[in-house]
Amino acid sequence: MNLQVSSFEDYKKTYDYSVKEPEKFWAEIAENFQWKKKWDTVLNWNFKEPAIKWFEGAKLNITENCLDRHLDTIGDKPAIIWEPNDPEESHRVLTYKQLHDKVCQFAVVLKNNGIQKGDRICIYMPMIPELAIAVLACARIGAIHSVVFGGFSAQSIADRIQDASCNLVITADGGFRGGKDIPLKSVIDDALVQCPSVKKVIVVTRSRTPVSMIKGRDVWWEDEIKKVETMGNPECPAEEMDAEDMLFILYTSGSTGKPKGVVHTCGGYMVYTGYTFSNVFQYQPGEIYFCTADIGWITGHSYIVYGPLSQGATTVLFEGVPTWPNASRFWDIVEKHKVNILYTAPTAIRSLMGFGLDPLKGKDLSSLKKLGSVGEPINEEAWHWFDEHIGNKECPIVDTWWQTETGGIMISPIADVTPTKPGYATLPLPGIQPILVDENGKELEGNDVSGNLCIKFPWPGMLRTTYGDHERCRTTYFATYENLYFTGDGCLRDADGYYRITGRVDDVLNVSGHRIGTAEVENAINMHSSVVESAVVGFPHDIKGQGVYAYVVCPEHHSDEELTRKDIIMTVSRIIGPIAKPDKIQFVSGLPKTRSGKIMRRILRKIAEGDTSNLGDTSTLLDPGVVDEIKIGSEKMK
């Protein structure tokens, strides 16, 4: 079966087939990939334990699909176009042949440093080609990568390294993001104080920031490559992996305090990311594709690295931010590299909208053919701006809904195939069976309904477990509703059967498309010496989508309240990272709690949203008076 549907009729036919004959459907899709050995069984599953196995018995290496199989046909075509943070610096192009060679070389470096199949490797790097090379080199030899976004703190890195007992870290001296220099190696040094499992650190040169290299532990990337060159660049055959062997761990926030390591496996993830990339974007050979995400998040894993490369695409890797040195940066990149497909986030669109149309003046965006959005609900205003000013009303917008746990896009228009509707992720991709349920797990049938979004049948890209704690995987995703995967999202299915994601229904915030657990932020705030307790909720934010609103009980704060606010923000930055910094901190004398001690977040959310007219029933509160105090305090903060 062709990976791409050819028309809306074809989509409907394919969808029906994928539901009636899911195993046949996925086996036919999987035929489009290169296997060292084909599977014995397509699917074995139950959502109870859960135990999900796709393509059991099959052998493969994802890097052969991303690199080797393209060498004869498109070996000299660009695989990666790297655009640096500073437009004055030259960009770099790596052809498929060059990328293949560099991945093999670095895979040998890993082996020379004692790394074997199954070892866990933490990667903390800026958005430079070496990041993609490091990721692929791990996959080449069957080591399991755990990429940590460059904006996380030393403490967050240490937690992640310890959780997976990583034995090697790959980092850079430093990185550039907009006007900022990020001292990556120094952050790693702080993290490693708590991580005895790490025996080696490989450091690539990027910023030329002075760093302390520890004898016996730290080595330079460039020196290690030279050693491989003096070995005569030995071949690095791809390790034969079972379809269900782990490919990577990626940590994401949930409603409890500790981020969990979502585990993806080799075969299913390869098939799912390759399939969805090809089909959703209707990728045509030669097209230049630019996804603005960071490889530190799932979008970067699936749709900068693995999906595009398995399909022989040219993928643009951008080191910087949309607004530096000015708000034309994206549009300059589109013009310079003649980008055909642009995949970005609503938060970036909203922030660029704020600069008006001047940054677009004189920019040639005529190469653009398809646009995509990911990470959070896209508001209609941003959708229309994207459509009119970037797409010139000629480019389909694919509003792709999915999650770290789903591995790839689940509900989305297919470019030029599915009729779109602003704000709607539209229809499930072939192979995906969404279902809406009410609080009690009862299916909401028919159209014009809203409820909690679940998926009732497995798909190859789904998570298999949470690293080191399978029970957590079961309770988080498979125990809320029997025999269903629960997404944590609320969703509306309109009269046409189109899906619109309305946002999280659990205690997870989506700040600029980044997932942040309220409990995690509360834990960090509570570390501050004068904080007694805190409650964190989201509030609507014009650019970030959601902002972080913290109610803090802090009886002995400095006489200078502003300074205490800054101290708390600094504490959160240190414990989690700057991405989780509260936008608003309100000091309160107590939190609204029920008699059993539960914080009534519903009330706090409403106050944070500025909607205090109807706070619902407050009679069950231990001290209803506290609500009035909080209301008055919040109004003062406006």
Which segment (107-115, 154-162, 326-334, 368-376) binds ligand PRX by CB under 6 A?
Answer: 368-376
Among 12-20, 319-327, 501-509, 573-581, the segment contacting ligand PRX (CB under 6 A) = 501-509
> Among candidates 127, 135, 121, 71, which has minimal Cα distance to 100?
71
Site for ligand PRX in 407-466 (CB under 6 A): 425
Interface stretch with ligand PRX, choices 5-13, 19-27, 48-56, 400-408 (CB under 6 A): 400-408
* Binding residues for ligand PRX restricted to 246-275, rule: CB under 6 A: 252
Write out the two tokens for 418. 């599915």
**Integer angstrom CA distances of residue 518 from 298, 371, 515:** 20, 32, 10
> At closest approach, how far in Å is the CB of 504 from ligand PRX?
5
Bond into 325 cis (ω within 30): yes
Sequence-separated (6 or more) residues with CB below 8 Å from residue 479: none
Least distance in angstroms from the C-beta of 414 to ligand PRX: 14
8 Å CB contact between 627 and 594: no
Among 60, 374, 435, 525, the residue binding ligand PRX under the rule CB under 6 A is 374
In the numeric block, which tokens belong to residue 589?
């004398």
- The structure tokens listed for 590 are 């107590």
Q: Please pick, from the candidates 65, 344, 400, 634, the single residue that binds ligand PRX as defined by CB under 6 A.
A: 400
CB 280 within 8 A of CB 341: no
Both tokens assigned to 259? 């981020």
Residue 141 vs 293, nearer CB to ligand PRX: 293
Beta bridge partners of 123: 147, 170
Closer residue to ligand PRX (CB): 78 or 261: 261
In whole angstroms, the minimum distance from the beta carbon of 514 to ligand PRX comes to: 7
Q: Which is nearer to ligand PRX, 236 or 473 (CB)?
A: 473
Instruction: Using the structure block, give the residue that is written with the tokens 């490091």.
Output: 134
Near ligand PRX by CB under 6 A: residue from 375, 428, 430, 592? 375
Restricted to residues 270-309, the positions that interact with ligand PRX (CB under 6 A) are 298-299
Burial class (CB in 10 A: 0-12, 13-18, 19+), 20: exposed
Report, in Å, the least distance between residue 423 CB and ligand PRX: 9
Q: Lay out the site mask for ligand PRX across 472-491 (x = CB under 6 A, - = otherwise).
A: ---------------xxx--
Q: Any alpha helices (H) in 453-600, and if so which ranges?
A: 470-473, 518-526, 561-575
* Beta strand ranges found along 442-520 (DSSP E): 449-455, 465-466, 485-493, 499-504, 508-511, 514-517
Minimal distance, residue 252 CB to ligand PRX, in Å: 5
Q: Exposed, middle or buried by CB within 10 Å (0-12, 13-18, 19+), for 564? A: buried
CB distance 302 to 147 below 8 Å: no
Chosen residue from 277, 306, 343, 401 binding ligand PRX by CB under 6 A: 401
Least Cβ distance, residue 395 to ligand PRX (angstroms) = 17
Tell me which long-range contacts 389-397 makes (C-beta under 8 A, separation of at least 24): 389/357, 389/360, 390/342, 390/365, 392/365, 392/366, 392/368, 395/368, 395/369, 395/370, 395/371, 396/370, 396/371, 396/420, 397/371, 397/372, 397/373
Which residue's entry shows tokens 């101290």?
567
Task: Kindly state the smallest distance separating residue 510's Cβ from ligand PRX, in Å.
Answer: 5
- In angstroms, rounded to a whole number, what is the distance separating the alpha carbons of residues 455 and 483? 9
Q: Which is nearer to ligand PRX, 64 or 294 (CB)?
A: 294
Q: Which residue is nearest to ligand PRX (CB)?
A: 404
- From residue 16, give the alpha-carbon distance in Å to each of 12, 19, 417, 430, 495: 6, 5, 16, 8, 20
Please identify which residue in the block is written with the tokens 């909720």.
537
The window from 148-156, 173-181, 397-405, 414-422 that contacts ligand PRX (CB under 6 A) reads: 397-405
DSSP symbols for 177-200? ETTEEE-HHHHHHHHHTT-TT--E
Q: 25 or 402, CB closer to ligand PRX? A: 402
Q: Which of 175, 377, 547, 582 binds ligand PRX (CB under 6 A)?
A: 377
Among positions 301, 515, 544, 581, the unique one binding ligand PRX when judged by CB under 6 A? 515
Q: Which of 403, 465, 534, 546 binds ligand PRX (CB under 6 A)?
A: 403
Q: Which stretch binds ligand PRX (CB under 6 A): 3-11, 35-43, 102-110, 393-401?
A: 393-401
> Closest separation between CB of residue 373 and ligand PRX, Å?
6
Give the residue with the Cβ less far from ligand PRX, 82 or 424: 424
Report the residue number, 174 or 458, with the smaller CB distance to ligand PRX. Answer: 458
Site size toward ligand PRX, by CB under 6 A: 22
Per DSSP bridges, beta strands 200-204 and 218-220 are: parallel
C-beta of 345: minimal distance to ligand PRX in Å?
A: 8
Stretch binding ligand PRX (CB under 6 A), from 156-164, 380-388, 498-506, 528-536: 498-506
Figure out which of the listed residues 282, 347, 510, 518 binds ligand PRX, where binding follows CB under 6 A: 510
Q: Which of 15, 124, 318, 402 binds ligand PRX (CB under 6 A)?
A: 402
Name the CA radius of gyration of the chain, rounded.
24
* Per CB under 6 A, 518 contacts ligand PRX: no
Q: Of the two residues 129 and 413, which places its CB atom closer to ligand PRX in the complex?
A: 413
Of 3-11, 373-381, 524-532, 602-610, the window that binds ligand PRX (rule: CB under 6 A) is 373-381
Residues 395, 388: Cα–Cα separation, whole Å:
9
372 close to 398: Cβ distance less than 8 angstroms: yes
Least Cβ distance, residue 69 to ligand PRX (angstroms)? 27
CA 336 to chain centre: 27
Binding stretches for ligand PRX (CB under 6 A): 252, 298-299, 374-377, 399-404, 425, 487-489, 501, 503-504, 510, 515
